[in-house]
Chain A
Amino acid sequence: MPGSDKETDLTERIEAFLSELKRGGCGTGPLRGSSETARETTALLRRITAQARWSSAGDLMEIIRKEGRRMTAAQPSETTVGNMVRRVLKIIREEYARSRGSSEEADQQESLHKLLTSGGLSEENFRQHFAPLKANVIEAINELLTELEGTTDNIAMQALEHIHSNEVIMTIGRSRTVEAFLKDAARKRKFHVIVAECAPFCQGHEMATSLSKAGIETTVIADAGIFAVMSRVNKVIIGTQTVLANGGLRAVNGTHTLALAAKHHSTPLIICAPMFKLSPQFPNEEDTFHKFVSPQEVLPFTEGEILSKVNVHCPVFDYVPPELITLFISNIGGHAPILCGVRCVQVDEAAPSAAFTDE
């Protein structure tokens, strides 16, 4: 039957995506950039909307929540997956409300107020069936996809506002957003970039070769030299894996040291992060925040006997508290870390959607 074929096809795709998530995370650092993950997640959710069987918005939301839980469980550190699921849920709610005819758009500004006063929307509201809902939702998801595709360019467009000539800019590891940002500025201005290599994965090397090919004077330094050269740096521009709800970051390890060094020298720390990296999570205890990979990267098996007698840690992420951050640059403009919580709420309003997973 064609229906079941579609179903099996869909489940296959979901499984493939989940296993890719699982594999991609426990390698040597993230294998693909967050924007790719976000795009793939959204594309998959669109496919689910198109191919899965559902009759009302509530059903659809239930399906998406279930798949979303499975996806985040496959790779808890990849928060963009969860963020995209939340966005799609919000889209569904909006479209439903629009179909129903109520003026939800006007309540955009009162989102915080609504959050506090409404006791939480009851699920019955989503049981009504609307024929054009599917098409509307798919269209909205397409819009979301176009927005995602444009995020890097939007951020890069703001580069010239922040970089002037003859500056020395420092960055760490490899962030495609920052790469695009710097390359865009390099078209008009001449400046110097220092890249900290970020052991043990040494992604800074790739970043440096790519930047130097684009005509930017680049220097690679070891992680240990961050504080030593910081006195000559004018700005620190970095990317991040996630922006937490309190304005803090979950970024690649070594970023906290970089942020402290920048604070000590009063160098501004600028984060280039698109909106889909914004997550409503708070920095929890060590168990859920940190992710570790094989310590073989740090102390290889060739070291022999001492391996059995020592503990070796290889954390992937660092927590950077919000007071060390000067500015966020996202695809909708720049803003201060303190507003992260507000943005978070504006992006996904109602409490149930924020807790679609059992956290």
Chain B
Amino acid sequence: MADSEVTDQSGPKDGIERAKNEGKELTKEEKQRLRKEKKQQKKGKEKKDDKAPKESQKEKPPAAAAQPSTQPSTQPSTQAPSQKVCSAVPAPAVAAAAAETTAAKEKPTKSKAELKAERRARQEADRASKQGKKGDGAQAAPAKSKAAPSELQPVVKRLPEHIQVDNPDVLKKLAKKLERQQIPLRSDYGYKVSLFSHLHQYSRKAPLTQQLSIPSSVIHPAIVRLGLQYSQGIVAGSNARSVALLHAFKQVIRDYTTPPNEELSRDLVNKLKPYISFLNQCRPLSASMGNAIKYIKKEISNIPNQCKDKEAKNKLLNCIDCYINEKIVLAAKAIAKYAIEKISDGDVILVYGCSSLVNNILCEAFEKNRKFRVIVVDSRPRLEGREALRRLVQRGIRCTYVLISAVSYILPEVSKVFLGAHALLANGYVMSRVGTSQIALVAKAFNVPVLVCCETYKFCERVQTDSFVSNELDDPDDLIVTRKGKTQLENWQDVELLGLLNLVYDVTPPDFVDLVITDLGMIPCTSVPVVLRVKNVDM
């Protein structure tokens, strides 16, 4: 008991340090206290007890003596790292979470830090309870099921900033963060259609780099260049953007030197954060870029402290090369191998826009002497199909070119549709360039099989059912066109009630897609969460 009193007086930091360094289970006193607090909370809600009553009787007096709010709040937070090490802690973790609410109820006046710590504790407890579901058996489960509904679990996931543009608090927070990182804030442009007021809409004519001072000491020049290439559309396409990002990071790592008294594993990650914010401001990150960044951060934090600078940097550069090679280059080869089985002689294949993967597949199939012809469908305002057309024609493939409004005219001739993807969402929806869902819809109406090709590193945990909640709005001025000397929409900004909408992505429901070809094989659209789970276990 004396132990616990000592810990009562010492600040929260010691508790965290202790748990981190030792990774040990909580001391018996702490466990008891937590259990008791949970019991109190249960009693308060008039739920029946699961734990042994005698424990409660034993613990009541010591608990009544010392009930500082900080201590129980730190205990769960110390547990969070130790969660991963020992599995016997889930129940006390839940108890701690339960304790938090009772403690909160009993003590109305709390300091900000305490509230913050409590919230964190609740979140950790929530996460722990989810883990604990797999671990502990019957005893923990009913306890948890009682505890969980009785608490107000806050949302564990944080909503990304780029879909909360209509929330002024979020914008203020973002502005503050960018100021801290010394990155200029990009302002929205033009009248936004009301349905999309929660998204950013930037103008291509006002790139972020105009607001940077030269020379910029905060952001590495390779990153500045990359940001400009993104925002002007010079580097476009999921794979291209990821590869460019990784190459820029390689340059950053090469030029990096660890400042004294700092560890590479922590400092480099902190250095990368403002770069990522800057790139996000130039153009919202894609799902594949997000996954790549997660991988790099993980690799960096796994660098052992004893490693020398040079060694560490070489290791990181190798990791990045490995990633690119495995996830992109080799994956493309694997996908091409599977896809070529699906292409037979005499096929008429329809492709949409410019997907590097699909172009790769077609070129390989052509080299393997399959006889087929390709119909390239394109759409305004990006007109990416022309790029695909050039590449295919260069190889010698017979091509036809139409705009997306002529798809229902040309589809009776088509035998297969190959589509690329920007990301595959966890509920089986395919997120891809706007217009893809339309092509899949019309193909379905004509009974033409639709095959989506996507590498596994583009799979992401998000779920989405429509193209509104999370999308990207491109420059609305792109829709303006001059025909026969007349530009109808020239002064659209002056007209009050007129808006232009230039979407970049849309989601295709899984019933339109017949097959997804990935580097792991050919799977149906609904198996994406399975692949994600397998990947997470591997990582």
Contact = CB atoms under 8 A, between A and B. Distances in A.
Interface stretch (B305-313, B338-346, B479-487): B479-487
Nearest to A210: B488
Contacts of A310: 389, 393, 399-401
Interface residues of B, number: 49
A266 interface: no
A206 B393 CA distance: 36
A228 B434 contact: yes
Classify the secondary structure of B's interface with A: mixed
Interface in A193-220: 194, 197-202, 205-206, 208-209, 212-213, 215-220
A257 B499 contact: no
Contacts of A194: 501
A225 B434 contact: yes
Contacts of B479: 197, 220, 222
B506 A227 contact: yes
Contact of B441 (A215, A227, A303): A227
Contacts of B484: 28
A222 B381 contact: yes
Given A212-B495, A223-B379, A311 B438 contact: no
B212 interface: no
B467 A228 contact: yes
B72 interface: no
A314 B406 contact: yes
B498 A311 contact: no
A299 interface: yes
Interface string A215-243: 11111111111111101100000000000
A319 B445 CA distance: 14
A298 interface: yes
B523 interface: no
B407 interface: yes
A216 B390 CA distance: 42
Given A205-B488, A219-B193, A313-B406, A227 B438 contact: yes
A218 B389 CA distance: 34
A261 B466 CA distance: 14
A264 interface: yes
A197 B495 CA distance: 17
Given A199-B380, A228-B437, A315-B406, A299 B401 contact: yes
A198 B405 CA distance: 7
A60 B200 CA distance: 67
A187 to B, nearest CB: 15
Nearest to B353: A224
Given A199-B403, A215-B497, A227-B438, A299 B488 contact: no
Interface string B393-424: 10000011111111111100000000000000
Given A220-B501, A257-B408, A312-B402, A208 B393 contact: no
B502 A298 contact: no
A231 B403 contact: no
Contact of A257 (B390, B438, B466, B498): B438
Given A228-B506, A306-B390, A212 B497 contact: yes
Interface of B: 193, 195, 379-381, 386, 389-390, 393, 399-410, 433-435, 437-438, 441-442, 445, 466-468, 479, 481, 483-484, 488-489, 492, 495-503, 506
Interface of A: 28, 194, 197-202, 205-206, 208-209, 212-213, 215-229, 231-232, 253-254, 256-257, 260-261, 264, 290, 298-299, 303, 306, 309-315, 318-319
